[in-house]
Amino acid sequence: MVESVPSNAAEDEPDRPEDDKESRASSDASSASSAPGDSSSSGAGEGDTRSAKRNKQRSFWKELPILIVVALVLAFLIQQFVARVYMIPSGSMEKTLHGCPGCTPDRILVDKVTYHFTDPAPGDVVVFRGPDAWVEDDPPSESSDNPIASFFQNIGSVFGLAPPDERDFVKRIIATGGQTVECCDDRNRVMVDGKPLDEPYIYWQGGKAEQREFGPVKVPENTVWVMGDNRNNSSDSRFQGGGGERGAVPVENIIGKARLIVLPPSRWAVVSDHNPQEASEQNAALSAPAWQQGLPLAAGALAAWPTLFVSRKIGSGVRRWVSRRRGRER
């Protein structure tokens, strides 16, 4: 039997025909001509590389305007329907939000989605469009007559680089539709439905911790009663539209809930949504007589021994059952 010879075993084929040798020689010559050191081959490769780079650069500059437009459109859609950055224009929410003269105004991120699923609640800091009663006596908005300047002003407003429409406000919700709000009790606290509020966020500019009296006012349905944290330096539901029910803000005017302070970096923080009504109720519960506050501790002490006794009995029974099972298996 003759075994087949591998085609690459040249040393085992001394009788290869002459034409095969010639073809082999031409193949070797061709390989030599394309060797890495050959200048013509190197030059062609470098030329192809430069051409590819030029095409890539041209492609990038062609795509850049499209990328910019897409980015702006996405940013616009996000700001319109999901969240938007607003600049605080005044000090009415000090010190929760900075907007005081001479300081860097806070930029806040306002969530526009939340109130599609939940109702505005006491303690929420909200941005809203001023109702007609709030803006009826305001001068016209100061916007440039130059269309180009007006365009860039609007763009800056969208991205929080310029003040928003002057008819947008930021305040804290104190009461909601159907509740009765008034001020003040004997400790100078705002009351809702006859119960005093717990408001640790109040800032007394000038140091005079005394609120102006108002009410009682029953907040109309589908509206909210809003006040500034800088309590005596805030034009809010107490005064706007002449006060009373006209000072309430329709829920439909609420743009969104303030979530974060995003600028400047030194002010990064979550915006407090401390509910003054719930906190007041909790504090009232904690103000029970001392002997009543001790009831849970006494009950815990009395129940401790029976609980320990029963748990020991159960543990002992389980161990005996396990021991019997092991004995049977053996």
Question: CA dihedral defined by 175, 176, 182, 186, rounded to 10 degrees?
Answer: -40
Dump pLDDT digits (tens) for 183-231.
999 999 999 999 999 999 999 988 788 898 998 999 999 999 999 999 9
* Dihedral sign of CA atoms 132, 135, 136, 139 in order: negative
Q: What are phi and psi of 322, to 5 degrees?
A: -65, -40
User: What pLDDT, on a 0 to 100 scale, did the predictor assign at position 102?
Assistant: 74
Dump pLDDT digits (tens) for 1-43.
333 334 344 334 444 444 544 545 454 544 444 444 444 444 5
- 97: DSSP letter: S
171 is catalytic: yes
User: What pLDDT, on a 0 to 100 scale, did the predictor assign at position 15?
Assistant: 47
Is pLDDT of 304 > 80?
A: no
Is pLDDT of 278 > 80?
A: yes
User: Which member of 112, 171, 218, 257 is catalytic?
Assistant: 171
Is pLDDT of 171 > 80?
A: yes
Mean pLDDT to the nearest integer, 130-141: 76
Helix, strand, coil proportions of the chain in percent (round to 5)? 45, 15, 40
92 is catalytic: yes
Q: For residues 260 and 244, give the distance between their C-alpha atoms in angstroms, rounded to a whole number.
A: 31
Which of 251, 244, 253, 248 is CA-nearest to residue 222? 251
H/E element holding 55? helix 39-81
Dump pLDDT digits (tens) for 40-93.
444 555 556 666 566 556 677 777 777 787 777 777 777 777 888 888 888 999
User: Which member of 92, 157, 237, 280 is catalytic?
Assistant: 92
